[in-house]
Amino acid sequence: MEISGTTLHGGALLTLDIARGVTTAVERLHGTIARQASGGLLAASGRSAGPVAGLVYRTIRGSTNGLRFALDQLGSQFASGEEPRDRELPAIAALNGVCGDFLAASGNPLALPMSFQAAHQDAIASGDIVVMVHGLGLSERNWLDESGLGGRLRSDLGATPIYLRYNTGRHISTNGREFSRMLEELCAGWPVPVNSLTLVGHSMGGLVIRSACRYAQRENRRWLEQLRGVTCLGSPHHGAPLEKAGAALDRVLLTLPYTAPLAFGARRSAGVKDLEYGNLLDEDWQGLRHDAPSADRRENVPLVPGVEYLFIAASVGKHSRDPMGHLFGDLLVRLDSASGEHRDPQRRLPVEPRCLRVFHEKNHFDLLRDTRVHECIVEWLRQHLSPRHG
């Protein structure tokens, strides 16, 4: 199987960065063990595990740094800016979810830039735009491969589906602000007058949408005037239990002398860490140490006035009273988080019962491909693709 030059280049850079990170972690662990064994004598003397070990680690680090510098210089020999091939995109998207913030910060070409994708390049644009935003570790291919929703929007409603591709490992607020800017450019450059703009987000995508709306309000973006509706599919508005558990475990490991140097949990991407509580804004995470006690410090972000919202949740339970559904939700997001409910009234999202749908005996990813979910969205949009009210 042929692999693109950009992917080869990015993969080589990432391999060296991983090797450098592992070397640093092992050196720290070695030093911890040596200090424990010496009863603190090494720490008192200011020395690490020993001069020989230190020389070995410096040699390894110097070699990897040199190789990375050489690869950086050779970067122009590869296909710079080349789009990932379709067969490569799922793996690259998953990698972005895991460490996309690091990829972006280190200049790795595997970091996915935010962009709009169209399924039908030759299709005639309509005045009704529907932008679909994928979730963590996914790409626009998940809408196209696993969902006929875009085709239904075009055939049943005459709307034009547009798909957002983005680096899900970056902070949600970073993606939200950039998404808002790109929506401004999209609406301003649309070839026909925009009648309506609708945003549909799956999982993290719903949070990116809400973040974009908040930044658009702050920056007086004109695209908000065209926004008619927002649909969130299984979005963890108040966080996801897996990340809450991961963050708690990380804080425990950081207190133990033999696991703290490895800091595996701290290497979770910024986007993943945002899912502990559902951070939407820079202020929600700035200045927060990863080893600090957990606290929900989010600014309350209200829904946009005059915009219709549809929250769709999935439940593995067979019916509304099934305890399995209340305990596990869709296996990744609990029902209360997906529906905007919160025990603190100030954080509760005021979604009317008519704007909330729960699909039973479904999991998180069924929301992408289930035909009943598609039908629900299409019928809801049919009612709201009209001039804004309120």
Question: What confidence tens digit (pLDDT) does each residue in 52-67 have?
Answer: 555 554 565 555 555 5
Of residues 342 and 288, more confidence is placed in: 342
Mark which of 52, 83, 105 sits at the end of a domain. 105
Q: What is the mean pLDDT of the segment spanning 206-229?
A: 98
Read off the pLDDT band of 51 (50, 70, 90): low
Whether 180 and 209 have beta carbons less than 8 Å apart is answered as no
d(CA 169, CA 269): 5
Residues with Cβ < 8 Å from 297, sequence gap 6 or more? 284, 288
Read off the pLDDT band of 185 (50, 70, 90): very high
Read off the pLDDT band of 6 (50, 70, 90): confident
Read off the pLDDT band of 167 (50, 70, 90): very high
Same domain, 93 and 122: no
Q: What is the mean pLDDT of the segment spanning 88-111?
A: 91
**What's residue 207's pLDDT?**
99
Is the residue at 328 inside a domain?
yes
Which of 79-88, 108-117, 218-227 bottoms out in mean pLDDT, i.e. has the lowest?
A: 79-88
Same domain, 101 and 119: no
Of residues 212 and 74, more confidence is placed in: 212
Mark which of 105, 126, 143 sits at the end of a domain. 105
CA–chain centroid gap for 316, Å, is 23
Q: What is the mean pLDDT of the segment spanning 16-24?
A: 54
d(CA 337, CA 181): 27
Of residues 277 and 72, more confidence is placed in: 277
Same domain, 138 and 163: yes
Q: What is the mean pLDDT of the segment spanning 145-167?
A: 89
Of residues 386 and 324, more confidence is placed in: 324
User: Which residue range is the domain that position 170 belongs to?
Assistant: 115-239+299-384
Beta bridge partners of 129: 160, 197
Q: What is the mean pLDDT of the segment spanning 343-347?
A: 93
Is the residue at 274 inside a domain?
no
Q: What is the mean pLDDT of the segment spanning 48-55?
A: 52
Same domain, 153 and 37: no
Which of 128-132, 246-250, 269-273 bottoms out in mean pLDDT, i.e. has the lowest?
A: 246-250
Mark which of 105, 139, 174 sits at the end of a domain. 105
Is the residue at 345 inside a domain?
yes
Is the residue at 248 inside a domain?
no
Number of domains in the chain: 2
Read off the pLDDT band of 390 (50, 70, 90): very low
**What's residue 245's pLDDT?**
81
Handedness of CA 314, 369, 208, 155 (dihedral sign): negative
Of residues 295 and 369, more confidence is placed in: 369
Q: What is the mean pLDDT of the segment spanning 196-213?
A: 98
Which of 81-85, 140-144, 235-239, 286-290 bottoms out in mean pLDDT, i.e. has the lowest?
A: 81-85
Q: What is the mean pLDDT of the segment spanning 309-327?
A: 95
Q: What is the mean pLDDT of the segment spanning 137-150?
A: 83
Is the residue at 366 inside a domain?
yes
pLDDT value at 156 more than 90:
yes
Percentages (nearest 5) of helix, strand, coil residues in the chain: 50, 10, 40
Is the residue at 260 inside a domain?
no
Beta bridge partners of 201: 133, 232
Is the residue at 123 inside a domain?
yes
Same domain, 100 and 185: no
Q: Which of 276, 145, 210 is nearest to 285 (CA)?
A: 276
Same domain, 315 and 342: yes
d(CA 205, CA 132): 8
Q: What is the mean pLDDT of the segment spanning 193-197?
A: 96
Which of 159-168, 370-379, 380-389 bottoms out in mean pLDDT, i.e. has the lowest?
A: 380-389
Residues with Cβ < 8 Å from 271, sequence gap 6 or more? 97, 100, 101, 136, 167, 168, 169, 170, 171, 172, 175, 204
d(CA 166, CA 202): 13
Whether 146 and 369 have beta carbons less than 8 Å apart is answered as yes
**What's residue 148's pLDDT?**
85
Of residues 255 and 220, more confidence is placed in: 220
